[in-house]
Chain A
Amino acid sequence: ELKVEQNPLFLSMQEGKNYTIYCNYSTTSDRLYWYRQDPGKSLESLFVLLSNGAVKQEGRLMASLDTKARLSTLHITAAVHDLSATYFCAVVSPTGNQFYFGTGTSLTVIP
């Protein structure tokens, strides 16, 4: 079974600071996803990373993928309160039809 680990699980940071969330996975996968979930809401797709070295950026969030290390990072630049949410990474199984999620990182940005 493919395992996905995220750290940290909880992150409290001040506005304006930078921080990185890490996502490790246990076996080979050719796709990695980042999702955002606001309290009481469903999951919203942020990024899909399809190859080694892939980097995607949207606003203050930047995601990267190292398939050799089986590691993805979600970097937050100059955090703002609106980024407070839970962030999940997920990888797809080698068969391509199952998705495995990390336990999520709950981010709180403090003014």
Chain B
Amino acid sequence: DVKVTQSSRYLVKRTGEKVFLECVQDMDHENMFWYRQDPGLGLRLIYFSYDVKMKEKGDIPEGYSVSREKKERFSLILESASTNQTSMYLCASSLDGGNTIYFGEGSWLTVV
């Protein structure tokens, strides 16, 4: 079974803090994704990566950056957290040309 692991399930951070959300997948998938999910807005793509050290902006990249130094790990970084970044963050991975995308359990971030 594919496993996508998000190390932090629940975080509370202060405005202006730097926040790291880590994601690891164990199936050698090329593609990895970060989404945020907000009520009424569905899933919105923040960034994705199709290879090590490669990244592409999604629909809402502002205020975020990402890092993919190793194939299995994809990190989402909030350089200076703001209250409007309070949300549930979902990491996902897929094989290139694969037929599904697998999600982690989600990270609930509250910025106060």
Question: Complex formed: what's the CA distance from A31 to B98 in Å?
Answer: 10
- Tell me whether B31 is interfacial, beta carbon within 8 Å: yes
A96 with B43, Cβ < 8 A, contacts A42-B103, A43-B90, A43-B103 known: no
Nearest-CB residue, chain A, relative to B41: A103
B94 partner residues in chain A, CB cutoff 8 A = 97, 99
Interface residues of A (CB under 8 A from B): 1, 31, 33, 41-45, 48, 50, 88, 90, 96-104
Interface residues of B (CB under 8 A from A): 31, 33, 35, 40-43, 45, 48, 50, 58-59, 90, 92, 94, 96-97, 99-106
Question: Complex formed: what's the CA distance from A42 to B33 in Å?
Answer: 14
Q: Which of B31, B40, B104, B106 contacts A97 (CB 8 A)?
A: B31
Given contact pairs A42-B103, A45-B101, A88-B43, a sample of 17 additional A-B residue pairs in the complex whose CB atoms are under 8 Å apart: A1-B59, A41-B105, A41-B106, A43-B90, A45-B100, A45-B102, A88-B42, A97-B31, A97-B48, A97-B50, A99-B33, A99-B94, A99-B101, A100-B45, A102-B42, A103-B41, A103-B42
Question: Complex formed: what's the CA distance from A97 to B41 in Å?
Answer: 22
Nearest-CB residue, chain B, relative to A47: B100
Q: Which of A41, A98, A102, A103 contacts B45 (CB 8 A)?
A: A98
Asked if residues A42 and B100 are in contact (CB atoms below 8 Å), the reply is no
